[in-house]
Amino acid sequence: MSDASNDYYLLDVFTEHAFAGNPLAVFPFAAHWDSRRMQAIANELNLSETVFVGEMAGANRFPIRIFTPTAELPFAGHPTVGTAHLLAHLALVRRDQPLVLKAGVGPLEVGFDGSLARFTTAQPVAISESSLNRTRAAALLGLPESAVIGNPVLASCGLPFHLVELSSLDDLARAIPNPSDWSRWVTPSGQEALYMYVAQPTTTPGGTLRSRMFSMENSLREDAATGSAAAALVGALTAGKSWSGRWQWCIEQGVEMGRPSRIHGEVERNSDAITAIRIAGEAVLVGKGTIFL
């Protein structure tokens, strides 16, 4: 026997096509489950993230918990976007009203704009020194030092990433982290996620980026679309700029994995500082399942 709390939905996020983007599982009725059960299920499904939605805490307000196969995360982008789309699909929220998903990092305010779900980060971008410099980053990725533009930085809007800018799409395609160098230079920092990107030429505030994300979770893993990394990246790229107004970015990720994704990033700033960072994307419902417990 099963009940609704055992049901989950599969979505492909940051795409409008099935079997592209980043897969996600969402349990929309998991209010009474404990952490051990959630972690065990996330490990069983073995997706980059699985979301468990708690009991509604007010109109269009839901707590969520996000798990990788081995750990709980305080925040992640494609789970936020995918969960918002699913709750709207199930008519548990109204698209014409603001939605709040309360994650470990704090409340994530979500709005719907046509086919997009757009959330505002709960934390401003924080930028600090990375354990990688230009020389280490090039060696780690198996690239010549000339392929790395400047020294990497560590940036976070609730989940930290080493940001590494590369000079070309060819370099991005060739770059594969070496596990032994990762253990020497990335693991000691305590931040086990790396986001590589290539900026396309633009004359407007923002532009188009291509990216890849690798993390170490028992073994090296590549992610098809990483909204939390995209938030950190657009925040870092806009920090320190003098232009006031709205910066808009389109980030393509997952191409090298055969799971193309499109992430929309938006940064608002006044003359003094960034006032908001937002990430938006589409999602496609591709399946439904039941866990028998």
For residue range 57-100, what is the model confidence (pLDDT) as tens digits?
988 999 999 999 999 999 999 999 999 999 999 999 999 999 99
pLDDT number for residue 1 = 41
Domain assignment of residue 107, given as a range = 4-119+282-290
Domain count, the chain: 2
Cα(204)–Cα(248) distance, integer angstroms: 9
pLDDT at 288 over 50: yes
Query: CA-CA distances (angstroms) from residue 141 to 112, 129, 176, 194, 242?
Result: 38, 19, 5, 11, 33
Same domain, 13 and 94: yes
CA atoms within 13 A on the CB side of 13: 33
Q: Quick one: 134 and 108 in the same domain?
A: no
Tokens representing 250 are 């389109």
Residues 276, 138 share a domain: yes
9-18, 168-177, 264-273: least confidently modelled range: 264-273
Average pLDDT over residues 42-61: 96
Burial class (CB in 10 A: 0-12, 13-18, 19+), 12: buried
Q: What is the pLDDT of residues 203-223, one digit of tens each?
A: 577 899 999 999 998 899 999
Query: Catalytic amino acids?
Result: 49
Are 136 and 276 found together in one domain? yes
Q: Are residues 88 and 198 in the same domain?
A: no
Tell me how crowded residue 264 is: count the other CB atoms within 10 A of its CB: 21
pLDDT for 220: 95
Gyration radius from the chain CA atoms? 19
